[in-house]
Amino acid sequence: MNPKPPMQPTGNQAHGLISRTFVKPVKVIAIASGKGGVGKTSVSVNLAMTLAMGGQDVLLLDADLGLANVDVQLGLQPSRNLSHLLAGECSVSDLVLPAPRGLKVVPATSGTRRMAQLGITEYSALIHAFSDYREPVDVMVIDTAAGITDSVTVLSQAAQEIIVVVCDEPASITDAYALIKVLSRDFGIERFRVLANMVRNDMHGKRLFENILRVTDRFLKVVLDYAGAIPDDEFLKRAIRRQSAVVDIFPGARSSRAFQLLADTANAWVSEPKAQGHLAFFSERQVAVGKLVSDT
């Protein structure tokens, strides 16, 4: 006896299937740090690459607009960058560079004072420009600038997740606390993920996290989650010198295994969509998904 063919969707069911095919929310992860020199860009590159190696469509946005170096770390040679986008000379699609393992990179520019001094209106225009990008995106990783600048605060607000990278230096800890304090008190961000970088082992990383947690629990109304630790690894330094991601060329390295754990952790995060009216990357996809849920 032949099995019955599956029923064809009709009406709202068919509309729902079509919507699910073309509308997909994007998880946007901002990588930030209170100070420079803590390995933030290396974290951004390797997390994005690990997610891409896992089969996801990943965009890596270099948002350190005055001192960009994602392209340098990956050995890429962009002919255009975000300055051309903001000048109206191209679209986001025109900027996207293919990187190894299917990763896609949106490059910024380095050594341009004007790009380091953009106003909030220009950052808002940059965020809105991604609404015109029609290619599939599962995750966007944003490599922000170090410190507490307008670019960091605006781009962090437009993300669903914020990873604050710290290392075992007093200035790194105090500046990370200052960053969390500003984003929480002035911009209403309540949850942060803390990643310990360049540590001896996971216990060392947890101690760094606990140092920050003790202070934030006392003075701030925020939720801090431990995102993990990346070890101080010679293979990671060697990969940087070779302008490659360590997870790509040294997959068995200690740091590569740690980035895989970080990617697994990030995949488990359930990100809440931004409230309607709030500035967010790919906000139209969030709205469309919300509408799809309410219609079904």
Note down pLDDT in tens along the chain; length 296 residues: 444 444 444 444 444 443 444 467 899 999 999 999 999 999 999 999 999 999 999 999 999 987 889 999 999 999 999 999 999 999 999 999 999 999 999 999 876 777 777 888 999 999 999 999 999 999 999 999 999 989 999 999 999 999 999 999 999 999 999 999 999 999 999 999 999 999 999 999 999 999 999 999 999 999 999 999 999 999 999 999 999 999 999 999 999 999 999 999 999 998 777 766 678 999 877 654 444 444 44
Domain count, the chain: 1
On whether residue 9 sits in a domain, the answer given is no
Helices (H), the chain: 11-22, 40-53, 70-73, 82-86, 92-95, 113-116, 120-129, 150-157, 170-185, 202-219, 234-241, 246-249, 254-268, 283-295
Instruction: State the Cα–Cα distance between residues 176 and 153, nearest whole angstrom.
Output: 13
Q: What pLDDT is attached to residue 45? A: 98
Q: What pLDDT is attached to residue 10? A: 41
pTM of the complete model beyond 0.85? yes
On whether residue 6 sits in a domain, the answer given is no
Contact 266/162 with Cβ under 8 angstroms? no
Here the tokens at position 238 are 């060697």
Instruction: State the Cα–Cα distance between residues 235 and 252, nearest whole angstrom.
Output: 10
On whether residue 52 sits in a domain, the answer given is yes
Tell me which H or E stretch contains 201: none
On whether residue 295 sits in a domain, the answer given is no
On whether residue 198 sits in a domain, the answer given is yes
Q: What pLDDT is attached to residue 66? A: 78
On whether residue 292 sits in a domain, the answer given is no
31 bridge partner residues: 143, 163
On whether residue 259 sits in a domain, the answer given is yes
Q: What pLDDT is attached to residue 287? A: 53
Backbone dihedral angles phi then psi of residue 162, each to the nearest 5 degrees:
-125, 120
Expressed as residue numbers, the domain containing 134 is 26-286
Q: What pLDDT is attached to residue 254? A: 98
Here the tokens at position 74 are 């990956």
On whether residue 13 sits in a domain, the answer given is no
> 292 to each of 130, 144, 247, 272, 295, how far by Cα in Å?
21, 32, 37, 16, 5
CATH code, 247: 3.40.50.300
Q: What pLDDT is attached to residue 118? A: 86
